[in-house]
């Protein structure tokens, strides 16, 4: 089961925009990004200066932002890495479910245009150099000639509505909405990399199987010189090292994923336990009501008998059926 993922983040200052711009353009260090896959990133809308993109739209709308106004909103749209199956092949090229991603990107763009207005989408950046391909869409919340983020994102109900709306926009490609009302929390970038670092430490401490990783070098062929032979052997060794690093990275990511899934399961168990307590209290209340009716002196014997037939007879029939089943099993 794969879920549609939508996260929003408010941008209130030029510094906020600058920080996000550094991430979008990869002018800052992004630990989980693969430099060899940078060429697969794209930006259908906007420039390499996010702050300029935002200010341009505000100026076009003739708005003088008030102090502490939300200048823009970042929308992160994606799903789990396993859904798109994007990965780097042995030849260094990016491979995955291309048609699924194109459909997702198109549906996401249409949803954003319908919700915010095409003119308010000032930046649309696609990243494919990290674990799961994802979209950063930055919109300026212009509503009736004013900056009004509250009209779009204000309140828990509106955020739930956004999640439902986006899930509906991409359900045609096989994605579902997350559990409504779930207490699961979004893992931000800093927390994600902290978990990833912890997973790396776990992987380093893990006992690896006793295996000989030495590489046997061939004898120097007579037809080539020592220099050329050395270059060939270095290339062979580098290929082997690269393969081992890739496998190690996959193991680290798997540990982080398992930890995240374990956290979700704990939240679900906690929710089910709470619901079980509520059901127990409800059943106890119903039993107390039944006792009060049966022991009440103001109710006639005929009414009591009729009530007892309605409550106890179905239960007795169920017990008889269970006894018959047990007898049949003994035979």
Please give the average pLDDT of every successive group of 10 residues along the chain, which has 331 residues. 87 92 90 88 95 95 90 92 86 88 95 95 94 93 91 86 92 82 48 52 52 49 58 72 76 77 79 79 78 69 62 52 54 54
**Pick from 186, 172, 199, 2: which is nearest to 82 by CA?**
2
The full 3-state SS of 88-99, as one line of letters, equals: ECCCCCEECCHH
Instruction: Select from 71, 74, 64 the least CA-distant residue to 12.
Output: 71
Q: What is the pLDDT of residue 132?
A: 86
| pLDDT value at residue 192 | 47
- Report the pLDDT value the prediction gives residue 202, as an integer from 0 to 100: 56
Domain 4-186: which CATH number of 1.20.1280.50, 3.40.50.720, 3.30.930.30, 1.20.1090.10: 3.30.930.30
| Residue 110: per-residue pLDDT | 96
Q: What is the pLDDT of residue 321?
A: 58
Task: Give the pLDDT of residue 270.
Answer: 80
Residues 6+ apart with CB under 8 A from 6: 75, 76, 77, 162, 163, 166
In this prediction, residue 194 carries a pLDDT of 53
Structural domain spans, the chain: 4-186, 207-311
pLDDT at 263: 79
The pTM of the full predicted model, rounded to 2 decimals, is 0.56
Closest Cα partner for 81 from 185, 192, 159, 184? 192
């Amino acid at each position: 089961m794969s879920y549609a993922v939508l996260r929003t983040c408010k941008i209130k200052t030029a510094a906020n925009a600058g920080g996000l711009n550094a991430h979008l353009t990869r002018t800052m260090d992004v630990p989980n990004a693969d430099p060899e896959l940078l060429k697969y990133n794209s930006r259908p809308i906007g420039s390499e200066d996010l702050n300029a993109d935002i200010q341009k739209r505000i100026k076009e709308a003739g708005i003088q932002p008030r102090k502490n106004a939300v200048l823009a909103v970042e929308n992160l749209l994606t799903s789990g890495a396993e859904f798109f199956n994007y990965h780097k092949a042995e030849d260094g090229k990016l491979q995955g479910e291309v048609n699924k991603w194109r459909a997702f990107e198109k549906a996401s763009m249409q949803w954003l245009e319908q919700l915010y207005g095409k003119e308010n989408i000032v930046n649309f950046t696609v990243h494919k150099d990290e674990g799961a391909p994802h979209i950063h869409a930055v919109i300026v919340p212009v509503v009736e000639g004013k900056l009004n983020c509250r009209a779009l994102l204000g309140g828990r109900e509106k955020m739930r509505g956004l999640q439902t709306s986006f899930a509906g926009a991409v359900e045609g490609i096989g994605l579902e909405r997350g559990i409504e009302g779930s207490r699961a929390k979004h893992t931000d970038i800093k927390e994600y990399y902290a978990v990833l670092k912890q997973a790396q430490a776990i992987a380093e401490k893990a006992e690896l199987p006793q295996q000989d990783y030495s590489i046997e070098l061939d004898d120097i062929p007579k037809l080539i010189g020592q220099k050329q032979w050395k270059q060939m052997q270095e290339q062979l060794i580098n290929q082997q090292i690269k393969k081992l690093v890739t496998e190690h990275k996959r193991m680290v990511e798997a540990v982080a994923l398992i930890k995240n899934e374990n956290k979700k399961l704990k939240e679900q168990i906690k929710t089910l336990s709470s619901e079980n307590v509520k059901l127990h209290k409800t059943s106890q209340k119903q039993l107390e009501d039944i006792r009060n009716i049966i022991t009440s002196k103001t109710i006639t014997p005929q009414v009591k008998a009729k009530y007892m037939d309605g409550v106890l007879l179905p239960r007795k029939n169920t017990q008889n059926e269970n006894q018959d089943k047990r007898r049949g099993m003994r035979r």
